[in-house]
């Protein structure tokens, strides 16, 4: 469980987020949606203490311990070109390894498992600089999984993946969530994909929560048009809402 | 587009025994050259036997005269050891700075140590004829400069390292200005200060070695202990913090260790340039990207490099001596270019 209580972030005199209050239950998958610059990434960073903020982020039962409780997949990760994939994923074990000690057997096992879950085992010895966009993105997710945290904050986890790989990756996350009771918060641009996987969507715009609820109640043409502009159609069927971009001139 | 054939394997983050053996051999070879070469022509066997003689439970007749024995143990030996210590610490401090600031051009003098120490030494030369003041004042000058740099950088820029590096530039410029003014007013000290700035390994018995040793031991222990964390810093402050690393504290500890040792080295040897940049980069090119490898190997190759450089400094214009800083740059720069070109072509 993770709770944002009146969290507010300002850069100088510009308010980029909040105040927002949001509670995500253990085992829940919450999708953060919203146009560019609406505050999605900032909200995730506030949870990790990476940006100064007013208000409080807590885990319900105590204070957050970034790294141990919360794993984060950044939108634009820095990936040293020469570093091997296995060493990169091992960085996810950092919160578990003392400052002056080095990794043990459990750490190696965890890394191997994370690589396997994301179909990266064969690329374990490859330098990060030789990976494709999709492989890199899966490597970052593997690093986050290796942290064995119970809360996953994923910032655009499928941004450079084709639709097949995107579904694969989100299925892996969903499987882990069900198996290990992980709490998942994702910021996603692909609205349809967000609606397919998340239990609940929160629509952010101008740093404030505009809508909050199950996908079919948030992904409505009315909501989307007022925050993304015209040119959006939503079709509801048994798979859930599907968001279809259309030409603005047709509206 | 990457073709399958160019998909190389990543270099290991483990320190291999082959690399360590090469490093240790280089240190032994350099120390051997340093002990055997010098204006006093001492017999090679005599040197080897005399060294063996110092080992416990071994007594050998080495056949050296008393003068030769003194030259060996009171002049050459301390000088070789001092060269090794200074080279090791400059190289390892350079590696640490490059890691902690994620800047390949960072060197041990980055935060104003050199300029501060230079100012301290100039004050010593200008105000007192006693050479005993040079080292303490250089040490104090270096530390004051870094403390000012650090507080300035933090007060201006918060979390970024760029503001720290820029503060270093400002502090260095300021210290250099005062130093230049002092030199203008005391032209007679110009030559001495200049020779100090170019770096020199002049020893009087074991005094300098004993002064420097504790700094080198403590700093090496800290930097070897934190080298894994330098790899974590490689993904940036933000992501490292999200992994629970206290980035500010790690950076502070590493900078303190590297700076104290650099200031101590500078105070006894002057400003020996280039070691802190070329050694870590050469090690990186040959043995891989990870600081778990770079830090310990820089320690070994830095020591070997400076001991060799000192042999060259003592012999090229013998019986006079070249400033060792001139040698490190004169041989180091082309060597480094060669390494860069070879590796780029084959890699």
| Gap between the Cα atoms of B22 and B27, Å rounded | 9
**A151 interaction partners in chain B (CB closer than 8 Å):** none
Closest approach of A249 to chain B, Cα-based (Å): 38
- Chain B positions contacting chain A at CB under 8 Å are 2, 6-13, 225-226, 228-229, 231-232, 234-236, 238-245, 250, 288-290
**B290 interaction partners in chain A (CB closer than 8 Å):** 83, 87
Sheet holding A29-33, edge to edge: A70-73, A151-155, A183-187, A29-33, A200-205, A208-213
Per-residue pLDDT, A186: 95
Instruction: State pLDDT tens for residues B103-112.
Output: 777 888 778 8
For A169, the token pair is: 């990756």
Per-residue pLDDT, B1: 40
B283 CB neighbour count, 10 Å cutoff: 24
The enclosing H or E element of A175 equals helix A163-180
3-state secondary structure of A130: helix
| Gap between the Cα atoms of B229 and B21, Å rounded | 25
Q: Which of B2, B221, B231, B244 to probe the A interface (max A CBs under 10 A)? A: B244
Instruction: State pLDDT tens for residues A150-161.
Output: 999 999 998 888
Q: How far is CA B76 from CA A120, B26, B73, B84, B204, in A?
A: 56, 18, 6, 12, 10
Smallest CA-to-CA distance from B60 within B75, B40, B45, B44 is with B45
For A92, the token pair is: 């996810």
3-state secondary structure of B306: helix
Nearest residue in A to B250, CA atom: A99
**Of residues B6, B229, B235, nearest to A80 (C-beta):** B235
Closest approach of B262 to chain A, Cα-based (Å): 23
Contact yes or no for B243 and A79 at CB 8 A:
no
Contact yes or no for B229 and A66 at CB 8 A:
no
User: For chains A and B, what is the number of CB pairs under 8 angstroms?
Assistant: 88
Closest approach of B154 to chain A, Cα-based (Å): 16
**A128 interaction partners in chain B (CB closer than 8 Å):** 10
Q: What angle do CA A29, A119, A178 make, to 5 degrees?
A: 25
| Gap between the Cα atoms of B85 and B27, Å rounded | 11
Lowest mean pLDDT among B126-130, B280-284, B320-324: B126-130
Per-residue pLDDT, B159: 57
Check pLDDT > 50 for residue B4: no
Q: Are B304 and B87 in contact (CB under 8 A)?
A: yes
Smallest CA-to-CA distance from B287 within B276, B274, B275, B300 is with B300
Instruction: State pLDDT tens for residues B52-68.
Output: 888 888 788 878 888 88
| Gap between the Cα atoms of B10 and A85, Å rounded | 8
Instruction: State pLDDT tens for residues B192-228.
Output: 788 778 887 876 678 889 888 998 999 999 999 999 9
**A125 interaction partners in chain B (CB closer than 8 Å):** 9-10
pLDDT band (50, 70, 90) for residue B261? confident
Contact yes or no for A100 and B234 at CB 8 A:
no
| Gap between the Cα atoms of B29 and B222, Å rounded | 27
Which of B16-25, B141-150, B196-205, B259-268 is predicted most confidently? Answer: B16-25
Check pLDDT > 80 for residue B131: no
Angle (deg, nearest 10), helices A133-146 and A105-117? 140
β-partners of residue A56 are A5
Check pLDDT > 60 for residue A48: yes
Per-residue pLDDT, B157: 65
Q: Are B244 and A149 in contact (CB under 8 A)?
A: no
Lowest mean pLDDT among A123-127, B85-89, B99-103, B335-339: B335-339
Contact yes or no for A126 and B229 at CB 8 A:
no
Rounded to the nearest 10°, the torsion over CA A219, A223, A229, A230 is 70
For B142, the token pair is: 């270096």
Contact yes or no for B288 and A68 at CB 8 A:
no
Contact yes or no for A102 and B228 at CB 8 A:
yes
């Amino acid at each position: 469980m993770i709770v944002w209580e009146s969290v507010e972030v300002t850069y100088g005199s510009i308010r980029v987020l909040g105040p927002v209050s949001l509670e995500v239950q253990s085992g829940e998958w919450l999708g953060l949606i919203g146009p560019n610059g609406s505050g999605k990434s900032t909200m995730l960073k506030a949870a990790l203490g990476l940006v100064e903020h007013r208000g409080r982020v807590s885990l319900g039962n105590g204070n957050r311990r970034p790294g141990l409780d919360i794993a984060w997949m950044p939108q634009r990760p820095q990936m040293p070109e020469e570093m091997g994939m296995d060493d990169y994923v091992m960085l996810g074990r950092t919160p578990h390894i003392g400052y002056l000690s080095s990794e043990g057997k459990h750490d190696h096992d965890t890394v191997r498992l994370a690589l396997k879950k994301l179909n990266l085992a064969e690329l374990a010895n490859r330098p990060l600089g030789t990976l494709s966009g999709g492989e890199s993105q899966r490597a970052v997710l593997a690093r986050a999984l290796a942290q064995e945290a119970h809360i996953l904050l994923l910032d655009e986890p499928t941004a450079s993946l084709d639709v097949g790989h995107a579904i694969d990756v989100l299925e892996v996350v969903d499987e882990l969530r069900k198996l290990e009771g992980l709490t998942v918060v994702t910021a996603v641009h692909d609205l349809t994909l967000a609606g397919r996987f998340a239990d609940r969507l929160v629509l952010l715009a101008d740093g404030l929560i505009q809508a909050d609820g199950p996908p079919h109640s948030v992904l409505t043409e009315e909501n989307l048009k007022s925050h993304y502009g015209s040119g959006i159609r939503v079709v509801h069927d048994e798979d859930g809402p599907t968001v279809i971009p259309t030409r603005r001139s047709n509206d | 587009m990457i073709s399958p054939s160019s998909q190389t394997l990543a270099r290991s983050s483990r320190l291999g025994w082959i690399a360590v053996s090469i490093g240790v051999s280089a240190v032994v070879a350099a120390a051997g050259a340093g002990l055997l070469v010098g204006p006093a022509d001492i017999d090679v066997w005599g040197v080897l036997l005399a060294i063996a003689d110092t080992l416990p439970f071994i007594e050998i007749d080495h056949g050296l005269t008393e003068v030769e024995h003194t030259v060996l143990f009171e002049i050459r030996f301390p000088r070789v050891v001092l060269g090794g210590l200074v080279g090791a610490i400059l190289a390892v401090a350079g590696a640490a700075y490059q890691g902690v600031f994620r800047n390949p051009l960072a060197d041990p003098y980055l935060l104003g140590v050199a300029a501060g120490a230079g100012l301290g030494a100039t004050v010593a030369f200008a105000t007192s004829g006693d050479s005993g003041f040079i080292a303490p004042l250089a040490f104090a000058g270096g530390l004051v400069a870094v403390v000012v740099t650090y507080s300035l950088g933090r007060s201006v820029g918060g979390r970024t390292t760029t503001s720290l590096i820029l503060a270093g530039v400002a502090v260095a410029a300021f210290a250099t200005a005062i130093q230049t003014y002092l030199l203008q007013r005391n032209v007679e000290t110009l030559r001495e200060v200049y020779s100090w700035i170019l770096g020199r390994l002049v020893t009087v018995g074991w005094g300098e070695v004993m002064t420097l040793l504790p700094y080198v031991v403590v700093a090496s222990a800290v930097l070897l202990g934190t080298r894994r964390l330098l790899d974590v810093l490689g993904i940036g402050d933000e992501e490292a913090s999200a992994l629970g690393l206290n980035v500010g504290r790690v950076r502070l500890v590493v900078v303190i260790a590297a700076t104290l040792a650099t200031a101590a080295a500078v105070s006894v040897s002057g400003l020996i340039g280039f070691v802190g940049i070329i050694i870590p980069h050469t090690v990186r090119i040959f043995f891989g990207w990870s600081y778990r490898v770079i830090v310990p190997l820089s320690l070994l190759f830095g020591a070997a490099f400076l001991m060799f450089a000192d042999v060259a400094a003592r012999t090229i214009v013998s019986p006079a001596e070249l400033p060792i800083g001139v040698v490190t740059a004169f041989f180091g720069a082309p060597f480094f270019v060669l390494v860069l070109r070879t590796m780029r072509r084959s890699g």
